[in-house]
Amino acid sequence: MDYSQFLLMKPEISLALTLIVLLIADLFMGEKSKQYFQPLALVLFAAHTAINFCDCCGGSCMAGQSEAFSGMYITSNIHVFVKNMLNVGTLLVFLFSFEWNKKENKEHIAEFYLLMMATLFGMYLMISCGDFLLFYIGLETASIPMATLVALNKKRNESAEAAAKYILTAGFSSSVMLFGISLIYGSCGGSLYFCDVVKNFTAEPFQILAMIFFMAGVAFKISLVPFHLWTADTYQGAPTSVTAYLSVMSKGAAAFAFMVIMWKAFSNIDVKSTFVSWTNILWWIIVITITVGNIFAIRQKNLKRFLAFSSISQAGYIMLGLMSGTAEGMGSMVYYILVYLFTNLGAFGIISNIEDKSGKVGMDDYNGLYETNPKMAVVMMLAMFSLAGIPPFAGFWSKFFIFASAAQAGEYLLVFLALANTIISLYYYLLVVKAMFINKSDTPIATFKSDKMSLIGITVCTVGFLFLGFISQIYEQIIAWSFGI
Amino acid sequence: MIPVQFYLVISTLLFFIGVFGFISRKNLIGLLMSIELILNAVNINFVAFNRYLFPNQIEGYIYSLFIIVVAAAETAVAIAIIMNVYRRMGNETVKSIKELKN
């Protein structure tokens, strides 16, 4: 066996080492030194992020794709880049939850960090899978610890309810997906490697059936519309930092893996109908997802639920990147996830900060926020503008590129519908801005000072979604690393 | 020898019984059992395909082993969460988890 292939798994290995070190540290730390666990975890994870980031940007770039374990594990620059994105996002979530962990989650601090990292590990495997077996293992490694994270707040009824809904729908969806995979195994030549499946995939009815089962299972994870019903309840009931994690990282990783599988395993270049077969299905899913997400977001009064529906419609936009099948499609999708990460985490950072200080998450509670906490209100407004896609912010550029990639494939009607939906989304994002700036309130949220950690996190997010759109090198680099069908 | 179609009929039946159970059961443990039924259908599929269509491979067997292991882990977590629901709400039916809405 060639042990040098383990070197390709650098991100996984360093994450696993961090996890094990923290696990042992938690085991042997006494009662008094428990307070140092959180800084230790933050420092170790920041080191892991920095090492991988430097490794990605510091010249050790790979040429093309590399495989390990006879094609089961695939990695390339774009895979490593997506992993780095997830690292940064997780670090931001850790910063936001620092204060919450100290106050409300005293007994389970170690569990919070360890389970987060275990979930991240699963996402890593999911991103660089070259085989349905590794994909399944990654998906489950990502979703089982996620359920325990949702249930972390054992004393609150909502947390328990949200976790029950999450684990049951996750289990159901992954079993439906497995049924699809078993049919693929039988009908595509008895191999589960993507490169072997695609050779035998000729869009026969039986294979299409298998593919639809598979798509349904994955669509649950990305919360595309016919399969979105768990999203709002789980997002509302989970602790806010976990919601932020769930809405960005889990969705981004699953979307990337979905794209890679659709292109690698279900798009046979010799048989054109294979590509047509799933783009037709996806066309309808995208239209329904964006529309339903937007329409239901309008009537939400709880901000966590509101962002849940907004994230459903954002997932629809992310899926636009799949339609073209070119390197531009993949690049614009990764860029969209990157921008969405900073924007949505910025919004969630403020929401969790306010919830920590005042315990309020309703939209009416935000009335008059500008009077008492002007800086918070302005950052929240900018995040909402970026989510809606108003020009100078990064959200506009990511939407622009992803629409351009879909238009290149000739999907003009789809792009038009998505554009029309952007206008609807503008309405409800501005509702939040109106509540903060125009509405008056007798009992506004009192002026408060946030802790340093959240401030750092919110600043990073703000800088991210303000300036990411102007640094065109990032987008060009992502495109250069991407690949098509 | 029994033809492979028979196994597929059984597994498809089991799959739809599981889906029907997931939709119609009132008890959370019942939902979990329905999920297990679907997973068993998947395992039958994998093993039957492997035995009949690709007898000189072991990929299907390996996959079904992994499914059994992961399903056990998932059930353990789900049972723990359902126990928590039972402690908090007093019973473990679907109707008890309806607090979250707008």
The answer to whether A302 contacts chain B (CB < 8 Å) is yes
> Which domains are delineated in chain B?
4-96 (1.10.287.3510)
- One-letter identity of residue A360: K
Here the tokens at position A68 are 């390990």
**Over the stretch A97-153, which tens digit does the pLDDT of each residue have?**
998 888 888 888 899 999 999 999 999 999 999 999 999 999 999 999 999 999 998
Amino acid A60: pLDDT: 53
pLDDT at residue B69 is higher than 70: yes
pLDDT at residue A61 is higher than 70: no
Q: Which of A149, A161, A306, A363 to probe by mutation at the B interface, max B CB count within 10 Å?
A: A161
Residue environment code for A451-482, b if the CB has 16+ CB neighbours within 10 A, otherwise e: bebbeebbebbbebbbebbeeeebbebbbebb
The answer to whether A362 contacts chain B (CB < 8 Å) is no
pLDDT at residue A6 is higher than 70: yes
Question: Which residues on adjacent β-strands are paired with residue A302?
Answer: A362
pLDDT at residue A37 is higher than 80: yes
The answer to whether A178 contacts chain B (CB < 8 Å) is yes
The answer to whether B29 contacts chain A (CB < 8 Å) is no
Neighbouring CB atoms inside 10 A of A417's CB total 15
Contact criterion met (CB below 8 Å) for A266 and A196:
no
Residue in A326, A231, A232, A227 with CA at minimum distance from that of residue A281: A227
Q: Do A182 and B45 touch (CB under 8 A)?
A: yes
Chain B residue with CA closest to A165: the answer is B97
Chain A residue with CA closest to B43: the answer is A182
Long-range contacts, A369-375 (Cβ 8 Å, 24+): A369/A435, A369/A436, A369/A444, A369/A445, A370/A436, A370/A437, A371/A444, A372/A444, A372/A445, A372/A446, A372/A447, A373/A445, A373/A447, A373/A448
How far apart CA A182 and CA A187 sit, in angstroms, is 9
Contact criterion met (CB below 8 Å) for B76 and A143:
no
Amino acid A447: pLDDT: 83
Here the tokens at position A337 are 């996830």
Q: Do A168 and B31 touch (CB under 8 A)?
A: yes
Domain positions in chain A: 7-481
How far apart CA A1 and CA A114 sit, in angstroms, is 31
Q: Do B28 and A158 touch (CB under 8 A)?
A: no
Q: Do A160 and B88 touch (CB under 8 A)?
A: yes
Q: Where are the beta strands (DSSP E) in A175-228?
A: none
Contact criterion met (CB below 8 Å) for A429 and A310:
yes
Amino acid A69: pLDDT: 82
User: Is the Cα torsion angle A438, A444, A445, A446 positive or negative in sign?
Assistant: positive
Q: Do A190 and B70 touch (CB under 8 A)?
A: no
Here the tokens at position A328 are 């531009």
